[in-house]
């Protein structure tokens, strides 16, 4: 047996060793379902595949590999390839399989050459943003050397492992090991992984920028291109475990989701202004974090979908669903968005926390030209909960002087002085179920003591901060301020009374029946999505009309969603998606009182023009 290019990895790891591989107090999603009796918000929503469809352990995977003889193990950037290879090889040795290993890192171009390739997409060194790359994964490798690589017939098993292994062109079985974005970022923050083609890690902010604008882009393209060649899908988030399933089971599971209701797995992260609402209302998440600023309820580039079979779990990324069944998910709007899911739900928790930065987001032409995105960051703030003193910063004062405003912001940045924000930006009291409308270019911020459900377009990192209340991040460093970008996009005509009239939704009853009504909370004319609130005592049936619906229970204990014979229960503050392929679904109130469900969807009159 020969193991080429794989470092020594211990057979088991202590909790102390594991902690060096991921910087977080939150646990890894378990490989097995746990019995719970909390009856509330579920942090690990699962979608059943049927009995015996997901396999657990490197021992079972090794048995399959031996039968194949020649295998490529591809997967997402951020996987612990040394660990995976060592654990699998240990099981192959037990089976007596003489195994020859090749490692994709050996076929990377020189690091200096890769640095020059990616440099044009990373912007200035001190910038938070780059531009989405036009590179392909194959550009990182020495193609001729990779093409010349052949399995060695003297070995019973030949394996090529690493990100992009399917590029080899081998006539071989393909394993794809996916990795959830939250775990990738926990590993990144611990300096336990590197960017593609890098020999060492960097500061997390630099690594994240490279991941977002380069590595994730090329890996996503590659994953979609090989999706239908994959024989086995595996979950790479475990440090010392792996779960896997045959591709037909996963593809059938994805197709089933595209015809029914599904819920992505949420994940949570602390922040400088973060609050205590999430910790209090979702007690099963780790309580040792200082706060939770965000819950990623549905941010398509960051969330995964968890499948379950016989109690074993396997997570794959949301983009796999869009690649397999984007038409079924988005219906009449697939022609505009393709495999990009357009709507985002997330929580901003400032209860007992702080104010968000005074900020705005880029216009559509600006985000396309400067950052390579196809959708811009148009937002709304839905107040799920708040304290009596809560407020939202929105729009300018009627007498706004842009020059004076900028001068005070720049003076604050240079001299660390407070800005009298109320002299420039309006504030509005926040109340439960208010909807504040924040199309791009609108100055805004959530004040403390809010739990905001942010219903938004999918882009989520393009926040131009002008003032951050002289605060620091969790590491004690100042957060980046982006006055130049902000002033390239601010709409100073959104001021005075116009803000109250045009940027706070005016709800009205759109339709009603026996024990139910649909409240329309009209969004701004610049928003491509709209919002309804469905209020009902017992049940109500809703027709999709070939439009995808994103929903959340915002008042009430729990509801049941019925689609044909399938019945699925959702609880307070849980997000779920009804694909456009579902013609109709029924919401049943099983929690007593009046249930209220938010529904966001792409507007029918949203066209296909740029």
What angle do helix axes 318-330 and 247-257 make, rounded to 10 degrees? 40
Phi/psi of residue 516, nearest 5 degrees: -150, 160
Residue 34: burial class (beta carbons within 10 Å; 0-12, 13-18, 19+): exposed
For residue 10, the model assigns a pLDDT of 44
Helix (H) or strand (E) holding 257, with range, is helix 247-257
CA separation for the pair 424, 404 (Å, rounded): 9
Distance CA 357, CA 352 (A): 16
Supply 506's token pair. Answer: 């005016």
Give one DSSP letter per residue of 285-300, joined into a string: S-TTSS-B-EEEEE-T
Residue 606, pLDDT score: 66
- Is residue 524 within 8 Å of 543, Cβ to Cβ? no
3-state SS assignment for residue 448: coil
The Cα 324–Cα 227 span in angstroms is 8
Q: From CA 458, how far away is CA 355, in angstroms rounded?
A: 23
List the one residue out of 559, 552, 570, 563 whose CA is nearest residue 592: 559
User: Residue 264 class from Cβ within 10 Å (0-12 exposed, 13-18 middle, 19+ buried)?
Assistant: buried
Residue-range domains of the chain with CATH: 56-257 (3.40.50), 319-502 (2.60.120.10), 508-602 (2.60.120.10)
* Spatial separation of the C-alpha atoms in residues 128 and 484, rounded to whole Å: 13
- 8 Å CB contact between 589 and 556: yes
CA–CA separation, 133 vs 209, rounded Å?
12
| Strand 444-446 relative to strand 566-571, pairing | unpaired
Smallest Cα–Cα separation from 305: which of 317, 297, 319? 317
The sign one gets for the Cα dihedral 426, 430, 434, 439 is positive
User: Mapped to the 3 state alphabet, what secondary structure does 134-148 carry?
Assistant: CCCHHHHECHHHHHH
- Reported in sequence order, the residue ranges of 49-190 that DSSP labels E, i.e. its strands, are 54-56, 70-75, 99-103, 157-161, 173-178
For residue 41, give the nearest of 346, 274, 278 by alpha carbon.
Answer: 278
Beta carbons of 164 and 104 less than 8 angstroms apart = yes
Task: Give 10-residue mean pLDDT values along the chain (610 residues).
Answer: 42 58 96 78 97 98 98 98 98 97 98 98 92 98 97 97 97 98 97 97 96 98 97 97 98 98 98 97 94 97 97 98 98 96 98 98 97 96 98 98 98 97 98 98 98 97 97 90 97 98 98 97 98 98 98 98 97 98 98 96 68
Helices 216-226 and 318-330: crossing angle, nearest 10°? 70
Query: Do residues 467 and 421 lie in contact, with contact meaning Cβ atoms separated by under 8 Å?
Result: yes
Rounded to 10 deg, the angle between the 81-94 and 58-68 helix axes is 70
Enter the tokens of residue 402: 């842009």
């Amino acid at each position: 047996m020969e193991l080429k290019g794989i470092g020594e990895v211990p057979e088991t790891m202590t909790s102390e060793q594991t902690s060096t591989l991921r910087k977080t107090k939150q646990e890894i999603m378990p490989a097995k379902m746990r019995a719970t009796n909390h009856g509330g918000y579920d942090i690990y929503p699962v979608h059943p595949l049927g009995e015996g469809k997901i396999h657990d352990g490197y021992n079972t995977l090794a048995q399959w590999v031996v039968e194949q003889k020649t295998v490529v193990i591809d997967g997402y950037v951020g996987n612990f390839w040394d660990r995976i290879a060592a654990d699998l090889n240990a099981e192959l040795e037990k089976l007596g399989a003489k195994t020859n290993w090749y490692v994709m890192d050996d076929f990377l171009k020189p690091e200096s050459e890769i640095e020059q390739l990616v440099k044009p997409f990373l912007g200035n060194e001190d910038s938070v943003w780059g531009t989405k790359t036009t590179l392909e994964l194959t550009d990182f490798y020495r193609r001729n050397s990779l093409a010349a690589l052949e399995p060695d017939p003297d070995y019973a098993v030949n394996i090529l492992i690493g990100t992009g292994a399917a590029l080899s062109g081998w006539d071989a079985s393909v394993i794809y090991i996916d990795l959830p974005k939250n775990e990738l970022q926990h590993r990144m923050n611990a300096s336990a992984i590197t960017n593609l083609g890098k020999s060492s890690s960097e500061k997390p902010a630099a690594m994240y920028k490279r991941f977002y604008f380069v590595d994730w882009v090329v890996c996503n393209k590659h994953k979609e291109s090989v999706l239908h060649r994959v024989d086995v899908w595996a979950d790479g988030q475990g440090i010392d475990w792996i779960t896997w399933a045959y591709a037909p089971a996963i593809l059938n599971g994805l197709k089933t989701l595209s015809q029914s209701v599904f819920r992505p797995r949420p994940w949570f992260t602390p922040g400088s202004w973060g609050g205590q609402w999430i910790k209090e209302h979702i007690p099963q998440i780790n309580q040792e974090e200082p706060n939770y600023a965000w819950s990623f309820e549905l941010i398509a580039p960051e969330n995964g979908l968890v499948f379950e079979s016989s109690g074993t779990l396997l997570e794959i990324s949301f983009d796999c669903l869009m690649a397999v069944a984007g038409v079924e998910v988005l219906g009449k709007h697939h022609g505009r968005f393709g495999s990009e899911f357009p709507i985002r739900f997330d929580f901003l928790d400032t209860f007992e926390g702080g104010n968000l930065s005074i900020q705005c987001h880029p216009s559509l032409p600006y985000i396309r030209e400067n950052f390579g995105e196809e959708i811009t960051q148009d937002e709304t703030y839905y107040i799920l909960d708040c304290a009596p003193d809560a407020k939202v910063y929105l729009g300018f004062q009627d007498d706004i002087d842009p020059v004076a405003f900028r001068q005070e912001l720049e003076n604050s940045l240079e001299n660390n002085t407070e800005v009298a924000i109320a002299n420039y930006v309006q504030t509005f009291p926040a109340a439960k179920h208010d909807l504040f409308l924040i199309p791009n270019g609108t100055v805004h911020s959530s004040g403390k003591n809010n739990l905001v459900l942010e219903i938004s377009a999918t882009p989520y990192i393009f926040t131009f901060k002008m003032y951050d209340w002289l605060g620091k991040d969790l590491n004690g460093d100042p957060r980046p301020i982006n006055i130049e970008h902000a002033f390239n996009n601010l709409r100073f005509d959104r001021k005075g009374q116009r803000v109250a009239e045009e940027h706070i939704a005016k709800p009205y009853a759109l339709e009603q029946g026996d024990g139910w009504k649909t409240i329309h909370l009209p969004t701004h004319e610049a928003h491509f999505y709209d919002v309804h609130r469905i209020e009902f005592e017992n049940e109500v049936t809703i027709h999709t009309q070939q439009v995808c619906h994103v929903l959340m229970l915002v008042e009430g204990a729990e509801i049941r969603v019925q689609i044909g014979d399938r019945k699925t229960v959702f609880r307070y503050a849980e997000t779920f998606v009804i694909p456009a392929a579902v013609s109709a679904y029924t919401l049943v109130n099983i929690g007593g009182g009046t249930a209220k469900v938010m529904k966001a969807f792409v507007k029918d009159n949203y066209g296909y023009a740029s």
